[in-house]
């Protein structure tokens, strides 16, 4: 006797839910595929991976599946597409400067490697979009091609070795180095800072060491690296890369050293970081005027959510 009203209420609720479900099918935000204006230029195998795993949200060639067209999935997916396109659009990327495109691709690989992209909530229902280890290897190989010619000219090699020696032993502190065009002074002591990471990725033929000053080192040990604290300084030193006959990679001639100095107030116009670069063993300041930093900011912008820093410290946050 008592269960009958309960059953009736339940029936009403189910009906109501169904009517609601039908009703929201008609509430559909407009969804379109705008024209492809500046398609990414990349080898076919790279495009295949990106098309398969990323294009549904990061291009003007979104392909919705039948169940994506049913509410509320439709609403959720189209929102992801809208937001995804606003952040990164492979159908329009080619209009950006090449260096910036590279930075974006680098960040794309980073996101995929971290498992952050494609969005896990998406791959749950779209398993074919999952990115496999093979796919990752294809992207990595494209962005970090294999090592260069294994037998460099012995004369070049000897010259490079002596430069590296000079870098290791010379007291560059005694050189009088001119400041960068934006007024940042050279940091002679960076070679004694903590090595945060070494990298030979992204473009080949160079080997890089990234150093962090005391503030950076403390932030790493305390896991307070996003944002990095005021006073953090990074140095990135780059050498040409050589491969000896045994296949070992070693540093060749010194190319440059670059710095990022954290001061949110002083460098507010460039994302809170001051940028500077000195080239060659004679440490010539880079840039005609202070506007050279546009180039740096443009390429570091894709990682603004990591406080503009590309490097994941060794043993730090992963």
Give the interface with ligand HEC as residue ranges (CB under 6 A).
Answer: 53-54, 56-58, 80, 83-84, 87-88, 99, 102-103, 106-108, 111-112, 117-119, 122, 129, 131, 199, 201-202, 208, 210, 234, 236, 258-260, 275-277, 286, 292, 295-296, 299-300, 302, 305, 309-311
Task: Kindly state the tokens that stand for 212.
Answer: 């962090």
- Residue 96 burial class via C-beta count within 10 angstroms: exposed 0-12, middle 13-18, buried 19 and up: middle
Nearer to ligand HEC, 22 or 314 (CB): 314
Closest separation in Å from C-beta 239 to ligand HEC:
12
Closest separation in Å from C-beta 229 to ligand HEC:
15
Nearer to ligand HEC, 20 or 280 (CB): 280
Closest separation in Å from C-beta 82 to ligand HEC:
8
Closest separation in Å from C-beta 5 to ligand HEC:
44
Nearer to ligand HEC, 210 or 255 (CB): 210
Spatial CB neighbours of 38, under 8 Å, sequence gap ≥ 6: 91, 92, 93, 94, 95
Nearer to ligand HEC, 191 or 201 (CB): 201
Q: Quick one: which of 279, 238, 240, 239 has its CA closest to 152? A: 240
Q: Are 278 and 257 in contact (CB under 8 A)?
A: yes
Closest separation in Å from C-beta 22 to ligand HEC:
26
Nearer to ligand HEC, 160 or 233 (CB): 233
Compute how many other C-beta atoms are within 10 angstroms of the C-beta atom of residue 133: 7
Spatial CB neighbours of 196, under 8 Å, sequence gap ≥ 6: 210, 211, 212, 216, 220, 234, 311, 313, 314
């Amino acid at each position: 006797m008592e269960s009958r009203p309960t059953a009736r209420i339940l029936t009403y609720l189910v009906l109501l839910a169904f009517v609601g479900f039908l009703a929201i099918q008609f509430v559909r935000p407009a969804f379109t595929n705008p024209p492809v204006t500046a398609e990414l230029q990349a080898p076919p195998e790279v495009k295949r991976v990106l098309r398969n795993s990323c294009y549904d949200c990061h291009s003007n060639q979104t392909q919705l599946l039948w169940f994506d067209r049913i509410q509320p999935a439709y609403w959720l997916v189209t929102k992801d597409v809208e937001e995804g396109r606003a952040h990164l659009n492979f159908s329009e990327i080619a209009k950006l400067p090449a260096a910036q495109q590279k930075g974006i691709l680098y960040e794309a690989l980073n996101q995929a490697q971290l498992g952050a992209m494609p969005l896990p909530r998406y791959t749950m229902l779209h398993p074919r979009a999952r990115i496999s280890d093979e796919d990752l290897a294809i992207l990595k190989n494209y962005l970090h091609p294999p090592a260069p010619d294994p037998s460099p000219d012995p004369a070049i090699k000897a010259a490079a070795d002596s430069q590296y020696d000079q870098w290791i032993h010379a007291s560059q502190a005694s050189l009088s180095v001119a400041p960068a065009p934006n007024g940042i002074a050279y940091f002679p002591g960076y070679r004694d800072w903590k090595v945060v990471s070494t990298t030979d990725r992204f473009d080949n033929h160079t080997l890089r060491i990234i150093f962090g000053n005391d503030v950076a080192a403390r932030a790493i040990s305390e896991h307070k690296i996003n944002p990095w604290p005021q006073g953090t300084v990074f140095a990135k030193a780059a050498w040409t890369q050589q491969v000896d006959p045994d296949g070992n990679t070693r540093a060749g001639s010194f190319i440059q050293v670059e710095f990022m100095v954290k001061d949110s107030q002083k460098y507010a116009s460039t994302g809170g970081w001051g940028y500077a670069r000195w080239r060659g063993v004679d440490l010539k300041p880079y840039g005609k005027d202070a506007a050279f930093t546009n180039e740096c900011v443009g390429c570091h912008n894709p990682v603004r959510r990591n406080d503009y820093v590309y490097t994941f410290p060794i043993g730090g946050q992963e």
